[in-house]
Chain A
Amino acid sequence: MKQQGKDLGLCLCTVCRQLNGSDDSHCSRCGSELHVRDYSSLQKSWALLITAAILLVPANLYPITVLTNQGKVRHDTIFSGIIHLVQSDMFPIAIIVFIASILVPWVKIIGLATYLCAISFNLPISKKKLMVGFHIIEWIGRWSMLDLFVISLTVALVNMGQLLDAKPAPAATAFALVILLTQLAAKVLDTRLLWDRLENQDDTN
């Protein structure tokens, strides 16, 4: 049985996952509006993703923290902070921060862009692989929050004037928005579109 709900006259509620008839306008269980397919979600997802990609530039280029130690002021970007961790022999911590703050945002944006391109331009990429990638992106996305948690704890703990002081810097806001926008871009997308567009091609690939 390789039938889609659409062909059977059935529609899944995206809020509570109740099965409804595709003629119904509202879910019989939770009352949410029903859409057999949400075509506008593709545009929304693109818009959110492009904004996130633009913000990723200042998030990486500008300093994310300012540290004052014995009168010396050091501006750290995400990357220079990681370099500093490596130099201080904290290699495992450096890897955790690298994955959460650099790898995850980039993988997310490139992965989501690939996914959206595959739907928008009908690219011949394996649907199964795209979907596996999408699940990974959904799951790892939250881990970028790690850096913001660390910054908030550090800023609250370390404020002793010229001797030792930590403050957030502009990249922190850009970085927070990148996390928010990429999470939303994945959330609003109706993934059922992928399987419709390529349905006439080989279904098994």
Chain B
Amino acid sequence: MHENTAENSVILCRSCDLAIRKRALPTGVRALCPRCNTALYDTPYCSVNGMLALCITALVFYFPANFFPVLEIHFLGSIRTTTVFQGAFAVFDQGYWVVGIAVLAAAVVGPGLLILSILIQLLIVKWGLDSPLGRHSLKQLLKFQGLLSQLTMLEIYVISFLVSSFQLSDFSDIYFGMGTFCFTMLFLVTLFLQREYDIEHMWGLLMQERH
């Protein structure tokens, strides 16, 4: 089969379909398409145990980040607080369910599923690659990985804490809560987790034992 020899040395750009000869890269360098500058591949620096530690840390921060108060308003002697979760439900309650779903998906559900999905993938890679169920689950999770990482918008939510607090400081005193700290930590841990994670490498681990 002529394709088999081509498969090992040639890759295609996903944006413009240009055929490019694959070369070994030094660590930390990313190959770009010479025609359209789309990122093609980089050297995988996956460490399964390191990612597992990051995943567990992210899960530890996940619940306080979503259910602890992120902002406090001190207004005429009374104190009101809100959490990320309540924020999504407040707009939902007002009848703006499209907005509510968007906020919930991008700030709560998306990040949660992303972390959970990577955690399950790592557990399968470590202990479940021999079982057909494990392989099947891993394949399905990898197919949804792209969607989940697009849905996760933690960095934008962190900026929105700042914008909200400045906007409201016009009317009364605003303080950050414990949730803000946890949410920022969740964002940082997830950022490192996504850097460490390499989907090509995960596909490689799944295919390895079949050959």
- Residues 81-118 of A, flagged 1 when their CB comes within 8 A of B and 0 if not, give 00001001010010011000000000000000000000
Please give the number of chain A residues whose Cβ is less than 8 angstroms from any Cβ of chain B in the complex: 71
Stretch at the interface among B58-66, B89-97, B119-127: B89-97
B side interface size, CB within 8 A: 68
Is residue A75 within 8 Å, beta carbon to beta carbon, of the partner chain? no
Nearest CB of B to A92, in Å? 8
Interface of chain B: mostly helix, strand, loop or mixed: helix
B72-88 residues with Cβ-Cβ distance < 8 A to A are 73, 75-76, 78, 80-83, 86-88
B160 within 8 A of A: yes
What's the nearest-Cβ distance from chain A to residue B54, in Å?
A: 22
Docked-complex contact B159 and A30, CB < 8 angstroms:
no
Chain A residues 147-205 with CB under 8 Å of chain B are 148-160, 163-164, 167-168, 172-173, 176-177, 179-180, 183, 187, 191-192, 194-196, 203
Answer yes or no: B209 CB below 8 A from chain A CBs. no
Within 8 A of A (CB), among B89-127: 89-91, 94, 96, 98-100, 102-103, 106-107
Q: Does A54 contact B (CB under 8 A)?
A: no
Q: Point out which of B81, B89, B103 has the most chain A C-beta atoms below 10 A from its C-beta.
A: B103
Collect the chain A residues with CB atoms within 8 Å of residue B19's CB.
1, 3-5, 7-8, 10
Q: Which 4 A-B pairs have the closest CB atoms?
A: A149-B160, A156-B90, A152-B87, A5-B12
Residues of B near any A CB (own CB < 8 A): 3, 6-7, 10-12, 14-21, 35-38, 70-71, 73, 75-76, 78, 80-83, 86-91, 94, 96, 98-100, 102-103, 106-107, 139, 142-143, 146, 150, 153, 156-157, 159-164, 166-168, 170-172, 199-200, 203, 206-207
